[in-house]
């Protein structure tokens, strides 16, 4: 009895959807990292707006 793999067609739509989702996750990750740094270093709102990671 062998294992079966789920076959997902590789369409341009799937690729575009995956790229869009990856970009959303990258943006969210950057925002979360910014919030963590903001909290760790006790930056003011003014500092937070001017600092880019």
Q: Let me know: does 30 contact 7? Beta carbons within 8 Å.
A: no
| Cα 19-21-25 angle, rounded to 5 deg | 115
Whether 43 shows a pLDDT value over 70: the answer reads yes
Q: What is the dihedral of CA 25, 30, 36, 37, to 10 degrees?
A: 170
Distance CA 51, CA 19 (A): 27
- For residue 42, name the pLDDT band (cuts at 50, 70, 90): confident
The structure's pTM equals 0.56
| Segment among 2-6, 11-15, 16-20, 43-47 with least mean pLDDT | 43-47
């Amino acid at each position: 009895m062998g294992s079966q793999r789920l076959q997902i067609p590789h369409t341009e739509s799937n690729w575009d959807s995956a790229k869009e989702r990856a970009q959303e996750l990258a943006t969210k990750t950057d925002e979360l990292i910014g919030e963590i740094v903001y909290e760790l270093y006790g930056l003011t709102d003014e500092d937070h707006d001017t600092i880019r990671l």
